[in-house]
Amino acid sequence: MKKIVEKALLQWGMEDAEWSLVAARENHVYRVRDGTTSYALRLHREGLHTAAELRSELQWMSAVATNGVSVPSPIATKNGAFLIEVEGINVDLLDWLPGRPLGATEARLETDNRAATFRAIGREMARLHKISDDWSPPDSFTRWSWDRAGLLGDTPLWGRFWENPTLNKEDQALLTHFREKADHELRQLEHSLDYGLIHADLVRENVMVDGDKIRLIDFDDSGYGFRLFDLATTLIKNREEPDFEQLRRALLDGYRSERPINTDQLDLFLALRATSYVGWISSRLEEEGSSDRNIRFIETARELLTEYLD
């Protein structure tokens, strides 16, 4: 990747900048230091999103940032392009936001003013949704959809969770039954639920805490979807916290301080979020640490699906 990074930085006039790898998950993300200013250089994984989808993501992030929610803003090259291709890899550059991640997945949440923090996250999530509803995307705008088909169809965005090869017969039957039940329920409800552009991955690592400010990063999974899916994504990673119910109330209170939302079906979306992880890990079982994560994902899905179906 060194050659691609160096070629890309030329396009932004930063050939003398210092850079280092900070994340290698779906994308390779590098922190670039040009003088006293830092940026995030993203090398996008081949085949995940088209160039049109990536340009749309950047357009949306720019609109959100312009309207007051703290998210990364795209930086144009010397030629005015926000997305370039280097040796077949799509590359963009974002400004670097200050702060620290709220926490790490599977670790105990270590943060002061916990309820206040989750209330602030809820407010920023609601503002993100409101700005998105007020924004008029260009005709070329395209992102994937976390709709009924994207969650429960024959080819869900994150994989056929009911076919995870490690499932035992009981869990496979549970996930298959849930899929049928949830599809029926969602078919009845989908046109009445709050739907629009969502972040879709507001887990601890993507929520930056900077004093009393909350900043949202990593819009790679963003697209159209049910707003309850955003709430469920934040909540599901904090279910093991001893004050989870308080955190849940704080998140919803913060959200409702900015815009209304009907949360009657939130438990359904917690279950849907759980199954998506079981599908996501299915194609990554050979990666380091995936075995333990797969076990956790299946255990969480088993608990939430059983609760929902009961």
Q: Model confidence over 29-56: pLDDT tens digits?
A: 999 999 999 999 999 999 899 999 999 9
- Same domain, yes or no, for 139 and 162? yes
The domain boundary residue, chosen from 81, 96, 111 = 96
- CB crowding 244-278: b at 16 or more within 10 Å, else e: eeebbebbbebbeebeebebebbebbbbbbbbbbb
Average pLDDT taken over every residue of the chain: 96
> Using CA atoms, how far apart are residues 226 and 222, in angstroms rounded to an integer?
11
Q: pLDDT digits over 66-99, tens only?
A: 999 999 999 999 999 999 999 999 999 999 999 9
Sorted by sequence, the CB contacts under 8 Å of residue 242 that are 6+ apart come out as none
**Same domain? 246 vs 269:** yes
38 and 58 together in one domain: yes
Residues 35, 20, single domain; the answer is yes
Q: Are residues 111 and 152 in the same domain?
A: yes
Last residue of a domain, one of 64, 96, 128: 96
Give the max Cα distance, the chain: 60
274 with 183, same domain: the answer is yes
Q: Residues 155-206: pLDDT tens digits?
A: 999 999 999 999 999 999 999 999 999 999 999 999 999 999 999 999 999 9
| 181 and 81 assigned to the same domain | no
Domains: count for the chain: 2
Kindly indicate the confidence band of residue 131, based on its pLDDT and cuts at 50, 70 and 90. Answer: very high
* Global confidence as pTM: 0.96
Domain that holds residue 260: 103-309
CB contact at 8 A, 269 and 228: yes
**pLDDT reading at 25 higher than 90:** no
Q: Using the 8-state DSSP alphabet, how is residue 163 labeled?
A: G
The band of 18, judged by pLDDT with boundaries at 50, 70 and 90, is very high
Of the residues 96, 131, 164, which one is the last residue of a structural domain? 96
Q: Which residue from 189, 223, 200 is spatially nearest to 280, judged by alpha carbons?
A: 200
Residues 296, 232, single domain; the answer is yes
Q: What is the pLDDT of residue 112?
A: 84
92 and 110 co-located in one domain: no
- Please answer whether residues 217 and 225 qualify as being in contact, where contact means their C-beta atoms are separated by less than 8 angstroms: no
CATH number at residue 253: 3.90.1200.10
| Residue 57 banded pLDDT, cuts 50, 70, 90 | very high
CB 174 within 8 A of CB 209: no
- What pLDDT was estimated at residue 218? 96
Q: Are 183 and 119 in a shared domain?
A: yes
295/250 Cα distance (integer angstroms): 29
Q: What is the CATH number of the domain that holds 85?
A: 3.30.200.20
Cα–Cα distance for residue pair 237/248, rounded to 1 Å: 11
pLDDT at 280 over 90: yes
43 and 135 assigned to the same domain:
no
126 plus 168 within the same structural domain: yes
pLDDT at 1: 83
